[in-house]
Structure 1
Amino acid sequence: MSDPAARRLSSGKLVIATHNAGKLKEIAGLLEPYGLDCISAGSLGLPEPAETGETFVANALIKARAAAQASGLPALADDSGLSVAALGGRPGVYTADWAERQWFEGEPGRDWYMAMGKVEGLLQAQGPETPRDCWFSCVLAIAWPDGESAVYEGRADGTLTWPPRGTMGFGYDPVFVPQGHHETFAELRPADKHAISHRADAFARLKAEQFGA
């Protein structure tokens, strides 16, 4: 992997390697001041590569490189997930997998309420005194069509709550209460969430390196 300082993004099209409209909107909002025209891999009809990595870094690079090579444009991917201390760091890199419906759970697709319920069920099985410490991780990977890449990592610590609260987030946001707050990520206004999220932490590192911000 190349030194991230050796290559900079410039204004123009940037493929966001996601098929998730909520994630595209959030990332595009964070990059809006820098003159980048963010388009999703989904809107380009690009397939989602198999995320075979065992770390957030590996999976972010898989997605960014696949989108860059398929589109001929610079691409940015994130791999993010929830880790719960009492569950040995699970679901971790398998965060999205926990939301995938099995054949007996209805139509194919992701059910985030089901995923949140799986985490809660495992915690409750350990007893009412089980610590609920957790953290969101985010790795941002930029890849260029020639194979060069850069990686930036962020983290947000917090605790889990139940039942889910709020409608403004996605994924596990309705059960994640960030450190120093009483509202879940899904209850916070988007601007307030962006200021403290794991993705914002990773983007702050990206912006400092890529744009001197």
Structure 2
Amino acid sequence: MMEGIEDRQCTYKSAVAYCELGKKPISFLGEEKGRVAEKISGSYGFGHDPIFIPEGSNKTYGEMKNADEVKQFRRKAVLKLRAYLLKKKK
């Protein structure tokens, strides 16, 4: 997997969109930096979890039983949407 590639830095991204009738959609992005593992590791999660190592860790999300609690990229996107909606409500 990516043999011979030294720079394995990557960014996990998640977008949440909001749209009101008759208006343009607005999107909110959450990101988490990390790196691509040298091998597939772990059975937790789904998708890219067994190959994504978040910054500050030496384990893939696939190796983390509590990965859903640790993941921040989705949460960041949803919190941005929440802030937008709360501000709009005022």
Please state how far the C-alpha of 1:211 moved relative to its aligned partner: 3.9
Q: Which residue number in structure 2 is paired with residue 192 of structure 1?
A: 70
TM-score, normalised to structure 1, is 0.36
Q: Is 1:208 aligned to 2:66, yes or no?
A: no
Q: Letter of the aligned partner of 2:61 in structure 1?
A: F
Q: What percentage of aligned pairs have identical amino acids?
A: 27
The runs of 5 or more residues in structure 2 that have no matched partner are: none
Bigger proportion of residues as helix? 1
Compute the RMSD of aligned alpha carbons. 1.9
**Higher RCO (CA 8 Å, separation ≥ 6 residues):** 2
Question: Matched residue of 1:173: which SS?
Answer: coil
Please state how far the C-alpha of 1:140 moved relative to its aligned partner: 1.2
Aligned CA distance change for structure 1 residues 184 and 211 (closer, same or farther; 3 Å)? farther
Q: Deviations over 1:168-203 (max 9, x none)?
A: 21111110000011221222312122xx2x212211
Find the aligned partners of 1:139 and 1:147 in 2 and give their Cα distance: 21
Q: Deviations over 1:118-148 (max 9, x none)?
A: xx2xx21xx26x211111122211223x233
Bigger proportion of residues as strand? 2
- Given candidates 33, 36, 41, the residue that maps to 1:157 is 33
Find the aligned partners of 2:69 and 2:84 in 1 and give their Cα distance: 22
The runs of 5 or more residues in structure 1 that have no matched partner are: 1-119
TM-score, normalised to structure 2, is 0.76
